[in-house]
Amino acid sequence: MHIRRFRTQDNQKVKRFINSMLKKEFPGLASVYSGNDLKDIKRHYSGKRERFFVAIDNDKIIGTGGIKEDDKVENKALLRRIFIHPNYRRKGYGLKILDKAVEFCKAQGYSTIIFRSTSKMSAANNLVRKKGFVEREHLYFPLNKKEQVEIIKFVLNLMKPKLMERKR
């Protein structure tokens, strides 16, 4: 398995991969996760400080992850589209994609990475927790008149805390 930068010719395969994962594992959440970025991944992740990664095994896409610039003033990145094929989970591949995304953010000088998920996406939530992301906010989004989904905002601070000077 190797992780590389998204290529234009990957677009349809990535789109099918992510939509398949959403449809099979998270039916009913389409309204929460807009697919606008999947129509043209290269354009949506084309900023100087943005990147989309694909994990490949035997010429098959088995995972994805994207970084979008979220806030230039506060220097925040948004982690998006973290998906791992079910057959490849719990083998460290998700962590490798996440490591690649975090390394990229550090190289770009971001101070913070934000990841928004739902309470139903427990595998992704556990993955980001392992990497040190902390839950900061819970919001509730209506799916229909009877149901709502919990949106969880996770944050990873990339800035090293300043050491306090010792008083003598």
**Which residues pair with residue 90 across a beta bridge?**
none
pTM of the entire structure? 0.87
Question: Cα 36 vs. chain centroid, distance in angstroms?
Answer: 15
Tens digit of each residue's pLDDT, the chain (168 residues): 999 999 999 999 999 999 898 888 877 666 566 678 888 899 999 999 999 999 999 999 999 999 999 988 889 999 999 999 999 999 999 999 999 999 999 999 999 999 999 888 899 999 999 999 999 999 988 877 888 888 999 999 998 765 545 554
- Side-chain-side CA neighbours of 109 within 13 Å: the count stands at 6
| Three-state DSSP class for residue 1 | coil
Q: At what angle do helices 122-130 and 93-107 cross, to 10 degrees?
A: 60
